Every structure is written in C-alpha cells, then in structure tokens.
Chains A and B, each alone.
Chain A
Amino acid sequence: MSIPVERFIGRRQQAWRDLEYGLARIRGGAVRGVEVRELERLGMLYRRAASDLALARRDYPGEAITDYLNGLCARAHPLLHRGEPLRPSSVATFYAAGIPRAFRAARPYVLASLALSLAGVAAGWLAVALRPDIASTLIPDSLFDRMARGEVPAGEGTGALTASLIIQNNIRVALICFAGGALLGLPTALALLANGWTLGTLAAAVHRDGIDLPFWSYIAPHGVIELSIIVIAGATGLMLGDAILRPGLRRRAEALEVAAGRAVGLALGAASLLVVAGLVEGYVSPSGAAEGLKYGIGAVSGVLLYSWLLLGGRARGRPPGVSLERTAAAEALAPAP
C-alpha cells in the first residue's frame, strides 16, 4: 500500500522546488555559465522527479500532484536532453569529412539523380533535334532568343545583384529538391527532369547553330559546380522518397526522420557551395574573359569539387564521426577525466 499523498508531497517537495529553481536558470536555453556540478545536480533532481512521476501515476492517478509532476518533467526533459551545441570546429570537421562521406554513402541516389537529369537532357535534345520547327517553343523563351543571336546572356545590373539573385534561385531549387523527398520525391524528380530538359534543349539549339564553344564557355565556369550540386540535392530528395517507399523494418515516419537527418547535412552543405557558383556566374561567366580561361576555371572547379567529394574524410586512424545522439545531460554525467 502506498504512502499517503500528503506525506509523499511533504517529503519530496523540496527537491521539486530545487528542480524548478534550476530550470528557471537555464530556461532561456543558455546552459553556459551554469556550473557542471549544478548541471549534474539538476540531472539527478530530474531523474528523481521522473521516478516520482512514475510513482504518482501508479498511486495517485488523477490527482493534482500527478499533473504537477508531469508538467515539471515535461519542462525539464527537453532542457536536459538536447543535442550538441554548434562549435566552429564541428562545422569545419563537417565540411572536411562529413559532407564527402555523406556524398559517398549516398552513391546509389546520386547515380539515380544523375540518371534523371541525363534523361531530361536527352529528352530535351531529342525534342529539338526531331522537331526543329518548334524548337523555339520548347526552349525557355528569353534564353533562346539570346542564344540564337549568338549573344552571351548578361545579367541585369551589376555582378553583385545578378550573383545574389542566382544564388537565391539556385539554393531555392536545391532546397526544393531536398524537401520534395517528403512528397515521395516526386517534386524532386520533376525538378531534375526540368533542369535537364532546359540544358538539353539549349545544347541542341546551339549545336544546330554551330555556336557550341562560345555557349559552353558561358556555362563552364559555374556550371560544373552548379549542376553537380543540383544532382546532389536531388539525391537527398530521392533518399527521403525512398525511405518512405521502402522503410525496411521501421515505421514509414521513422524511416523518413532518419533519412532526413542523414540527408539534410549533405543537402545544405552542397547548397552552400552554390554561393561560390553564383558568384562565378555573376562575375566571371558573363565577363569578356578568354574562352580558354573560362574553360580552365570550369575544369579546375570540377577537379577541386570531385577530389574533395571523393577523397575527403578518408584519412585512416580518424575516430568515427561524432554521434549526434549525445546529450548535454549525458555529458554532464560522464566521469571527469
């Protein structure tokens, strides 16, 4: 038989009040500045409150004290169970090793994404080659006009303006590719096909007009990075869609969460490179620089990008990636070295 609720409350309430007081101190989320000893004590107080909650559930169901303890634990739990704080060093590690590893781990999806893009390119090329008479309606209008006149499409305004718009647009497309995974990857596949289509129709049109070299000199400096990143972003979306369709032993929602947690870093890390590509596209690509130089820039960017993606994070003797499951509370409990 359980003890009377009054005695239960009387015995334990000081610890609860201590926990409340401690929570109020880290309420805003700032654990910094709170001593380790204090955090350890909070962790202990929280676990005792949680076991008090379990007792109260069993012995005093429906009483005010049970609601009170539930509320107390509900507030304490997220504050004590949280991920690693963001440190500059972890960002650096992420770029040096995390993104390349995630890229290599996503290889089947990258290949699928590439295949979709190439299918779009092929369809676009074929459409223009088979029906030259309607080529102008197949190709996005403004671009075609300029290409057909052999002009290099220059952005409006200054390089900074053009670059920022290009960056925003490309990052948005990359994010849509990732987020489209939540809708079974259908928007992702469409975006990849459409992107390929634009490229394919343009390529066919400029080939027909025999202006390949000047045209590709406009694409090359930024295009290598930009197209690669769109393919990678597409791969992350396909990962999500695949997780929903083939969840394995997990529930679909869980499989989606896990896949998204893995993919989001790759998607955003890749998208951040679009800033570089956008700056090149805003300043270098439309400039009057020699074609050879432009092709050179494209080639160098490609070599750098793929040696990073294929070789980064392969060094031996490095400990496995930091687990994101570690929590502040667990850290506080770890024995001092």
Chain B
Amino acid sequence: MSGMQRDTLEVRTAENVGIGYDAAGIGSRFFALTLDYLCIAGIVLFVTLLWRGLAGTGGGTADTLVVGVFIPFFAALVYFVVAETATAGRTAGKRALGLRVIRVDGGAPGLREALIRGILRATFDSLVGIFWMFFHPQSRRLGDIVAGTLVVRERRTEAALPPTAPVLLRTPDAGPAVDGLERLGVKELAVLRSYLSRPGLTPQQRSRVGAEMAHRLLDRMELPAGAPERQWPAELFLERLYLQLASRLGTA
C-alpha cells in the first residue's frame, strides 16, 4: 500500500490519512461512455419527436440540421453535466461498470468540474482526448486534467470485512518452540492468518495449499533437512507457527 503504483491515486484527506484509489482503464471507460451515449440517443429521439410535433416540420436542410446537430449537441452536454453533478460522479454508464468521477483531492465533482469535463468532451476530447488517455498513466483525458478529476474504480467492499479470528483445528497450544522464527515477519504472519481464517476451502484444497505453504516457510526459516518441524503434518505446523509468530510479534 505504501508504494503507490502508477495507476493509482493517493488522496491525503483533511485528517492527513492517505486513501488509495484505482484509476479506471480505457476499456471500462469506453464501455461506460457507450452506455451513456445509448441513454443520450434515447433522449435525442424523445426530444426530436417532441420538436417535430411542435414545429410541425419534417423536411428541409435546416430541419435536418436541427435534428442532427442542435439537439444531439445540447442533449449530450446537458446529460453529462446533470448526471455527473446529481449523482456525485456516477452517470448511468459509470454506475453500470462500477466507475466514479472524483476530484484529485478526493471530493465529488461539482457543477464546475462537470461543466469543464462536458465542454472538453464536446470539443477537443473526441479527438485529442483519446490519444491523451493512451499515454496518461491514470488514463485521464484532457477534460479530466483541466477539471482536476479522475475516473476511478469503486471497489465493492460491503461484504469484505475480514473474519476476526483464525480457526485452529489441529493444535491446542503453540507446541514446542520452532527454530528460525526470527527470519519471519508481519508479512508471513498476515499470510498465515489469511490462510487459517479463509472460509470455503475443501479439506483437500486446504491441505494441498497448506503443504505448499509449509514447504516455502520451512525453506525461508532455513531449517536443516533433518529438523523435527519438517516431520510435522503441514497444517499442524502452520497453526503452531502462527501462534508462536503472533506472540513473538506481539499481535496475538
């Protein structure tokens, strides 16, 4: 988490806490845009029928231009501005793909950001913006840069609150002290905890993953080939190792 990758943005909040966001890629943004344009096409159709009904015209160059240029131009502009402002950055297309527009300071886009994005989309971004996005590490188009915004992926985390305690099935206590514990750190502890508290594994999968993991950990601890720990069943070893490492690192 500390080393931010190129396609992420770290927002420092007012509380001086860094929140990491994942930038959305070109593919998903393009797909979201397509969905939004479908919505706009619907609106254009509706307004066109209304216009034809009111104006009572149905031909001529000027009428064609109104229907083909005037209505789509303003429908697209108004749709994006209203949708981005009203939904705190999630138009229908973005919602469908789990995307959201945020300001680079982490806030929701307001009217001014939506307007700038909309104006750039209606003018230069259809040509220049595409190339820009290809070369920008966070896939920001020109409108994003001028408005100071970014499209991010919203992670679904509602159900992701991790389980609170690992399930220990094999061992009643930490067992005899294991050598080489000092070669392991919090990273290994986290891996052990997530293995032991992972639900939904069949016993076969659990023992297979456990055996691989034990093998790697034993190597990392640089235990000799004849060490007694290598004779323990893998899952028993992992549980004992977890308990000892946790008490050594003072987190359990």
Q: Do A and B bind each other?
A: yes
Interface residues of A (CB under 8 A from B): 1-6, 9-10, 13, 16-17, 20, 24, 28-29, 47, 50-51, 53-54, 57, 59-68, 70-75, 77-79, 81-84, 86, 155-158, 160-162, 164-165, 167-168, 172, 175-176, 178-183, 187, 240, 253-254, 256-257, 260-261, 264-265, 267-268, 324, 327
Q: CB distance A6 to B252 under 8 Å? A: yes
Known A61-B1, A162-B62; contact A5-B73, beta-carbon cutoff 8 A: no
Point out the residues of chain A lying under 8 angstroms from B187, CB to CB.
Answer: 62
Known A61-B1, A172-B73; contact A260-B108, beta-carbon cutoff 8 A: no
Point out the residues of chain B lying under 8 angstroms from A72, CB to CB.
Answer: 157
Alpha-carbon gap, A55 to B15, bound state (A): 12
Known A6-B164, A68-B162, A165-B62; contact A84-B74, beta-carbon cutoff 8 A: no
Given contacts A161-B66, A168-B69, 19 further A-B contacts (CB under 8 A): A2-B251, A4-B246, A9-B162, A9-B164, A28-B87, A53-B17, A57-B1, A57-B17, A68-B160, A70-B19, A81-B108, A162-B62, A172-B122, A179-B142, A182-B124, A187-B124, A257-B147, A261-B112, A267-B119
Alpha-carbon gap, A51 to B18, bound state (A): 10
Q: Which residue of A lies closest to B165 (CB)?
A: A6
Interface residues of B (CB under 8 A from A): 1-2, 11, 13, 15-21, 55, 57, 60-63, 65-66, 69-70, 73-74, 85-90, 100, 102-103, 105-108, 110-112, 115-116, 119-120, 122-124, 128, 142, 145-148, 152, 154-158, 160-162, 164-165, 186-187, 190, 193-194, 246, 250-252
Q: Which residue of B lies closest to A157 (CB)?
A: B62
Q: CB distance A165 to B65 under 8 Å? A: yes
Known A175-B119, A264-B112; contact A165-B66, beta-carbon cutoff 8 A: yes
Alpha-carbon gap, A65 to B55, bound state (A): 61
Rounded to whole Å, the gap between the CB of B15 and the closest CB of chain A is 5
Q: CB distance B18 to A57 under 8 Å? A: yes
Alpha-carbon gap, A178 to B124, bound state (A): 11
Known A83-B112, A183-B124; contact A4-B190, beta-carbon cutoff 8 A: no
Alpha-carbon gap, A81 to B1, bound state (A): 23
Known A4-B251, A54-B17; contact A156-B62, beta-carbon cutoff 8 A: yes
Alpha-carbon gap, A71 to B252, bound state (A): 25
Point out the residues of chain B lying under 8 angstroms from A60, CB to CB.
Answer: 186, 190
Rounded to whole Å, the gap between the CB of B28 and the closest CB of chain A is 17
Rounded to whole Å, the gap between the CB of B173 and the closest CB of chain A is 17
Point out the residues of chain B lying under 8 angstroms from A157, CB to CB.
Answer: 57, 60-63
